[in-house]
Structure 1
Amino acid sequence: MTFKLPEFTPPDFNQSFLKNAPNCTTIEVIKDGVAPKNFHAMSIYPEYFKVDGKWLLPAQSRMDCVPVVKNNTIIEIIEFRNLHVGDKVVVGRTEDASEGIYMYTKGFKSENKINDTFAFRTGRSRETAFSKDYDQLYERLKHDRDNGHIVWVLGPAVIFDHDTRNALSSLVENGYVHALMAGNAMATHDLEGGYLGTALGQDIYTQASQPNGHYNHLELINEVRRSGSIENFISEGKVKDGVIKKCVEKNIPIVLAGSIRDDGPLPPVYGNAYEAQDAMRAQTRKATTVICLATTLHTIATGNMTPSYTIVDNKIRPVYIYNVDIAEFAVNKLGDRGSLEVTTIVTNVQDFMVHLKNNLI
């Protein structure tokens, strides 16, 4: 299979309803962090705004944030908490161009359009055949390794298995990981595996519980905190292998968002949720493919801040999001939160990772 990015077809702005549409209306912010009444909130889809007679598309977008007109030439998408007095926020709740706001959902042609009114197995579940999804993912990752930004969002299940952990480490080594986002647990147990050969006290290969193994992750966290940073701890030669070690060696950004239940935590874990969100947002702004594995809350957070498109080399291209989990509930949850442009695969992450490694390396 030869991978080719789908062409983006922009709207025909000569259509009368677009040509004759009014300019969008803006109202200035009068209190930091507070949008004006009737503010417009973004979706995941490309949205155009008419300013001085020209339709402008934001270069970067984010669902549930507000569009701000800058110098009448660009549209920036801003989180409510980052609004400042004087920002010109677009107001209006329609998306049909009647208020100078146009949401456009037909830029990329669907490869799987179904014309039948009734058809079997159009949903995605444990009965779905995912062979085509895997084949497409292999080709997209090969393309984006050198032409995009591949972001991985990981739960700790990814490193509880010897083969899975090695598979992901190999993908890091071979350039298929450009950023890693997770919580304290994933990084802790991966480093525990490289330091003590266990994950949450169980042998990383046999899963046999070790004597006093419940201390192991705490010992690991304590030692990393003693060293001052993950990088220092690794440089001391105390970590034999693992995903985090590979990322550090390759200078790959690692964003660890904290939780109310964290042990320790590791030194780089963000305790402030909004700082964590900003750090995650820095990676999703650049993302071309996002792969979320066995972590429902991190997946929803990432999916909600990742638009359906991005602009690379002045070309509009889709952002591909994959959500992989053994539970149908987990993969369907992201769609329930507004991120419709996502491919879901119902399987355990161990099989998923080994498939990827075997077909990419």
Structure 2
Amino acid sequence: MTFQLPAYHPPDFTQPPFVDAPPVTFRRVVKSGVAPDDYHATSIHPEYFQVEKNRWTLLEQSRMDCVVVKRDDGSLVVKAFRKLERGERVACGRRENGEDGIFVHAEPFESQDQTLQKFAFRTRTTRETSFSIDYDELYDLLEFERRNGFIVWVLGPAVVFDRDSREAFAKLVAEGYVHALLAGNALAVHDVEAALFSTALGQGIYAKKSAELGHYNHLDAINRVRAIGSIEKAIDAGIVGNGIMKAVVENDISCVLAGSIRDDGPLPETITDACQAQDRMRAIARRATTVIGMATVLHTIATGNMVPAYQVTEGHGVRPVYFYSVDMSEFAVSKLVNRGSLSARAILTNVQDFVVNVERGLRRRKTGFRG
């Protein structure tokens, strides 16, 4: 089937309650980094603000849990609390149906769900859910997004713990299905370890046999990269001869490695300042039209907080942002939704199998085989 974006249905601002709604109130920031009382916090949904009477403005480049600032030219920008500057004007009001000049559009896209039953079994995603159609829809989406969107992958280290999934993801990069990569120090460390020793945390990535003194391998990998100065230099020198990081570097893919308190090393590219890492992730996330998070709860939730459920693009107007969470744990994917990423779609499976299946499925479609 040919992928088509669902139609966007904007509000009709000529109808009640909008015609009687007041312009939104903006209050000054008194202390930098502190929003005024009654500030409006943004959601994942499209949001409109009546800046002047009968002039409703849609937020572009939005993100969850931020505030809206009115610039001197009347335009609106979404800012994190920590970036507010004294004197800036912040949108205030917590009623979201127009009463305060703010409307949160919770159902903007046409729904393909035709289920009308008041009671039905198996309506929630669990380990028993079938995912065949999800894979087929994902293949169509990725083919569309490769040319028309911006695909962001959020990876946990489990992806490189298996030879086949590591190779499959590198192929996805080479084939253009990866526009950006967000991960932690561990993903890159164990990918480099695999390139050097064919292990991840000392265990073979194919035979799963523990190497002698294998617990040194990831530390040796970090040490070698730090000695030469960077992952890119290690690749250029032939030290890292295969894997995901090599594919990312050679295909000039945007990549952010955000560090954590428990990181070994870390690698030179890993950003250890949390605010700096968040800013770098946000610069990528704001471009996302599809996000696929795999086996990394914290990084996936962090990305989910930065990505709204919509994107305003030149070619397609207001369109949805697709968000997939892939994990073996129901808890992991449920936690993402519980943190506000209501549009996230879950696929419960081993992420290594998932990557292999996606690469194989896309390759088969290219050859015309859809079995």
> Hey, what's the Cα distance between the residues in 2 that align with 1:16 and 1:161?
57
Counterpart of 2:79? 78
| 1:269-308 equivalences in 2 (<5 Å) | 269-308=270-309
State whether structure 2 residue 324 is matched by structure 1 residue 312: no
Report SS of the residue matched to 2:154: strand
Match among 353, 356, 362 for residue 354 of structure 1: 356
Asked if 2 retains the 8 angstrom alpha-carbon contact of 1:52 and 1:72, the reply is: no
Q: TM-score, normalised by structure 1?
A: 0.98
> Hey, what's the Cα distance between the residues in 1 that align with 2:85 and 2:96?
25
> Hey, what's the Cα distance between the residues in 1 that align with 2:72 and 2:155?
39
> Hey, what's the Cα distance between the residues in 1 that align with 2:331 and 2:107?
28
Report SS of the residue matched to 2:17: helix
Counterpart of 1:143? 144
Instruction: Give per-residue Cα distances to partners, 1:194-223, cap 9 Å, x unaligned.
Output: 122211111221111111111011011011
> Hey, what's the Cα distance between the residues in 2 that align with 1:22 and 1:349?
49
State whether structure 2 residue 327 is matched by structure 1 residue 325: yes
State whether structure 2 residue 153 is matched by structure 1 residue 170: no
Unaligned runs of 5+ in 2: 364-371
> Hey, what's the Cα distance between the residues in 1 that align with 2:197 and 2:130?
39
Counterpart of 2:90? 89
State whether structure 2 residue 342 is matched by structure 1 residue 340: yes
Deviates more, 1:90-99 or 1:71-80: 71-80
Instruction: Give per-residue Cα distances to partners, 1:111-167, cap 9 Å, x unaligned.
Output: 124321111111000011111111111111000101111000000100100110011
Report SS of the residue matched to 1:110: coil
| 1:188-227 equivalences in 2 (<5 Å) | 188-227=189-228
Counterpart of 2:367? none
| 1:223-242 equivalences in 2 (<5 Å) | 223-242=224-243
Asked if 2 retains the 8 angstrom alpha-carbon contact of 1:290 and 1:320, the reply is: yes
Asked if 2 retains the 8 angstrom alpha-carbon contact of 1:58 and 1:74, the reply is: no
Q: Which amino acid aligns with 2:122?
A: R
> Hey, what's the Cα distance between the residues in 2 that align with 1:292 and 1:55?
34
Q: TM-score, normalised by structure 2?
A: 0.96
Q: Which amino acid aligns with 1:126?
A: R
Counterpart of 1:47? 47
Deviation (angstroms), 1:72: 5.0
Counterpart of 2:61? 60
State whether structure 2 residue 11 is matched by structure 1 residue 11: yes
Counterpart of 1:124? 125
Asked if 2 retains the 8 angstrom alpha-carbon contact of 1:29 and 1:85, the reply is: yes
- Taking a change above 3 Å as real, the CA distance of residues 121 and 72 of structure 1, as seen in their structure-2 partners, is farther
Deviates more, 1:73-82 or 1:282-291: 73-82
Q: Which amino acid aligns with 1:331?
A: V
> Hey, what's the Cα distance between the residues in 2 that align with 1:170 and 1:307?
28
> Hey, what's the Cα distance between the residues in 2 that align with 1:10 and 1:159?
43
Report SS of the residue matched to 1:50: strand
Instruction: Give per-residue Cα distances to partners, 1:2-25, cap 9 Å, x unaligned.
Output: 100111111111112112211000
Q: Which amino acid aligns with 1:184?
A: N
Unaligned runs of 5+ in 1: none
> Hey, what's the Cα distance between the residues in 1 that align with 2:264 and 2:107?
46
> Hey, what's the Cα distance between the residues in 2 that align with 1:179 and 1:160?
20
What is the CA RMSD across the aligned residues, in angstroms?
Answer: 1.0
> Hey, what's the Cα distance between the residues in 2 that align with 1:140 and 1:312?
16
Report SS of the residue matched to 1:16: coil
Instruction: Give per-residue Cα distances to partners, 1:292-324, cap 9 Å, x unaligned.
Output: 000111111111111000111161110000000
Counterpart of 1:34? 34
> Hey, what's the Cα distance between the residues in 1 that align with 2:87 and 2:288?
30
Instruction: Give per-residue Cα distances to partners, 1:33-58, cap 9 Å, x unaligned.
Output: 00001100011101100011210011
Counterpart of 2:23? 23
Counterpart of 1:181? 182
Asked if 2 retains the 8 angstrom alpha-carbon contact of 1:51 and 1:72, the reply is: no
Report SS of the residue matched to 1:144: helix
Deviation (angstroms), 1:66: 0.4
> Hey, what's the Cα distance between the residues in 2 that align with 1:146 and 1:26?
40
Identity %: 54
